[in-house]
Amino acid sequence: MIITLTHTDTSEIANALLHARSRLGNASGLVLTLIVAAEQRSFAKALAAAQTAAREHPCRLIVVVKTTGKTDRLDAEIHLAEDVPGEVIVLRLSGEVRDHADSVVLPMLLPDSPVVMWWPGRAPDAPGDDQLGQLADRRITDAAASADPIKALEVRAMHHSAGDTDLTWTRLTLWRALLTAALDQYPMRVLSATVVGPRNNAPADLMAAWLESRLKVPVTRTPSSGPGITSVILSTPGGDIVIAREDGKTASYAIPGQPRRTVALKRRDINELLTEELRRLDADDVYAAALATLLTREGRSMPKPEQTRKRKEAGAIAAARVAKTGARAGSRKAARVQEALVGQEPPLHSGHPHAAEAS
């Protein structure tokens, strides 16, 4: 089922979604809201990746597309039924509406459930202070979409806040798991480490930062022709632990005193990376520590975000206005209400427990 609404508003979208759900007669069963800030040129790819992730994590998928149109308008498409996992709402914002994306999206968030924000393309330097980013518990960026991924990662490290993550980190999951398993099998003291990868490779630099932050040993970055990270070497008193991947698909796994083995270590696509990232919805302290070390390796330090205090103040304002949103006091939705809601309240259907209070 596809419902198309042109020159619409949030109330009409919410009512259309409610009526469609009533006609279909199926229970929601959605576990989170996934907001995607898609660009027109990469819209199809971003939508496909989000829908793939939604098959493992049933969610309300809200795709926000800011068009180049000058007329102030909001258009929407609602996708429901068996061919779509969960619910898909595509919002196209034109004119001045583009500057109020948070006010448009906020009434559509699922109540009392996590909200994840994903920028598949260009992302803000400080995701936690972004209009849409402030609505989310978890914010996902991808430095690989930038012209200079390493610089993009460093900038986001400077503005990191709890809940931020980057798919550069997700690309290291399999590598980190293998290295951890190697040290479990061969629990010797590590003296130093070497990460081999292309000179301007953000995952390789982040891998070096992670090893240094966890092992507290010097880590050397050595260039190679790729693809991606080609090897990681941990030097111990008894010999080297070596994981080497030359073809981007399989890796050799060598531990002192044991025969060399071959393990699968492929380079994963964006669909798999996003699906994995949605499995974790809490703050990642290990990633934050790796970012801090990344900056230290570049001779910089991670500042304490100035915006932390302002976000706490915004939370207090949200709590004071909880009755207007129809959200239960202390709920997730209440904590996400922002000042952008002034003059625009989410519609309440007659069966809502706070409908009588709001009328």
Return d(Cα 251, Cα 261) in angstroms, integer.
8
Same domain, 202 and 318: no
Question: pLDDT at residue 131 above 80?
Answer: yes
Same domain, 217 and 235: yes
Same domain, 205 and 108: no
> Average pLDDT of the chain?
84
Extract the runs of DSSP E, i.e. beta strands, from the chain.
2-5, 32-38, 59-66, 73-79, 87-94, 115-118, 138-141, 164-166, 192-197, 219-223, 231-236, 239-244, 250-254, 261-264
pLDDT in tens, 286-311: 999 999 999 999 877 666 655 444 44
Q: What is the CATH number of the domain that holds 242?
A: 3.40.30
Same domain, 159 and 207: no
Identify which of 81-85, 121-125, 164-168 has the greatest average pLDDT.
164-168
- Average pLDDT, stretch 145-161? 93
The reply to whether 292 falls in a domain is: no
Binned at pLDDT 50, 70 and 90, residue 342 comes out as very low
Return d(Cα 147, Cα 186) in angstroms, integer.
40
Question: pLDDT at residue 348 above 60?
Answer: no
Question: pLDDT at residue 346 above 50?
Answer: no
Same domain, 318 and 218: no
pLDDT in tens, 226-253: 799 999 999 999 999 999 998 888 999 9
Q: What is the pTM of this model?
A: 0.82
The reply to whether 282 falls in a domain is: no
In a 10 Å sphere around its CB, with 0-12 CB exposed, 13-18 middle and 19+ buried, how is residue 244 labelled?
Answer: middle
| Token duo for residue 106 | 């906020």
- Average pLDDT, stretch 328-354? 42
Binned at pLDDT 50, 70 and 90, residue 31 comes out as confident
Same domain, 235 and 334: no
Say which residues have a Cβ less than 8 Å from residue 311's Cβ, sequence separation at least 6.
128, 129, 134
Give the chain's domain count: 3
Domain with 331 in it = 306-359
The reply to whether 259 falls in a domain is: yes
pLDDT in tens, 165-182: 999 999 999 999 999 999
